[in-house]
């Protein structure tokens, strides 16, 4: 079946631009996670949704980062006024339950010039 | 100090060798331990999942958890060129499924 998909796969932004990254989780998956993976590093947790409720946003690095999942399915991670340090791969993962295995998408590689 | 430490040094081994990877951690509340494999330009893929201390074997892969030492290991037997990837350890606390990852080990299996 279809896995987690993310779009765009690659995004180049000029410093100061706003970007929106999309995640389509596996159909029916309750939980959705966003992680940030810098070059040569492991993924770092950003935020977690259970259905449409954002239960944990403690990993968001600044108030320029905002995530939503309004209908409990597709999620969007928005970064306002991008900075060079925002350059990273943004990974989305979904899980069928609140504690189950997380299935990752291919990521969106964001480059801020 | 990060919660999860994984020596990120690349590892090159000849085909057929045993690959040994490990992570240490500082949070004694971690109870779920995972190993993910990540190919270049792809998302992490779950390889092994263990709960608490002990060993788990799946084909050529063996995962070990020693909670008393806060140390986990992954062994790959009879390594194949297709095993060439980055291996990430990850762990979580009971009731909180945010994953804490190590930096990852890049493994290259030379034919």
Token pair of B40 as six digits: 């270049």
The enclosing H or E element of B31 equals strand B30-38
Residues A50-82 pLDDT 10s: 999 999 999 999 999 999 999 999 999 999 999
Task: Determine the Cα–Cα distance for residues A46 and B99; give it in Å rounded to an integer.
Answer: 10
Is the per-residue pLDDT at A100 higher than 80?
no
Question: Looking at beta carbons, which residues of chain B come within 8 Å of A45?
Answer: 98-100
| C-alpha to C-alpha distance for A84 and A17, rounded to whole angstroms | 11
Residue A9: closest C-alpha in chain B: B41
Which candidate from B8, B97, B103 shows the least CB-CB separation from A31? B97
In this prediction, residue A12 has a pLDDT band, given cuts at 50, 70 and 90, of very high
Across A15-31, average pLDDT: 96
Q: List A49's β-bridge partners, or say none.
A: A32, A54
CA nearest to B105, candidates B81, B92, B89, B82: B89
Rounded Cα distance, B28 and A85, in Å: 31
- Taking CB atoms and an 8 Å limit, are A48 and B102 in contact across chains? no
d(CA A41, CA A29): 27
How far is residue B81's CA from residue B83's CA, in Å, rounded to a whole number?
A: 5
Which residues from B are below 8 Å from A93, CB to CB? 43
How would you list the strands of the sheet with A75-79, edge to edge? A5-7, A19-24, A75-79, A65-68
Give me the pLDDT at residue A97, please.
84
Min Cα distance A53 → chain B (Å) is 15
- Asked if residue A1 has pLDDT above 60, the reply is no
Q: What is the mean pLDDT of each run of 10 residues along chain B (111 residues)?
A: 84 96 94 94 93 90 95 96 96 87 96 95
């Amino acid at each position: 079946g279809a896995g987690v998909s993310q779009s765009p796969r690659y995004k180049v932004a000029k410093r100061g631009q706003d970007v929106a990254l999309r995640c389509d989780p596996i159909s029916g998956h309750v939980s959705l996670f966003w992680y940030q993976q810098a070059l040569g590093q492991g993924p770092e947790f950003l935020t977690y949704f259970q259905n449409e409720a954002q239960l944990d946003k403690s990993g968001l690095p600044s108030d320029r980062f905002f995530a939503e999942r309004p209908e409990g399915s597709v999620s969007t991670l928005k970064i306002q006024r991008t900075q060079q340090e925002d350059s990273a791969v943004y990974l989305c993962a979904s899980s069928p339950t609140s504690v189950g295995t997380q299935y990752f998408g291919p990521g969106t590689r964001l480059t801020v010039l | 100090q990060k919660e999860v430490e994984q020596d990120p040094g690349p590892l090159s081994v000849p085909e057929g060798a045993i690959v040994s990877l490990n992570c240490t951690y500082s949070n004694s509340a971690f109870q779920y331990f995972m190993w993910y494999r990540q190919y270049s330009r792809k998302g992490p893929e779950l390889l092994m999942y263990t709960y608490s201390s002990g060993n788990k074997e799946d084909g050529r892969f063996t995962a070990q958890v020693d909670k008393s030492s806060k140390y986990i290991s992954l062994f790959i037997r009879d390594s194949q060129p297709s095993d060439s990837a980055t291996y990430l350890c990850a762990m979580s606390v009971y009731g909180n499924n945010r994953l804490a990852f190590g930096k990852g080990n890049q493994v290259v299996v030379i034919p």
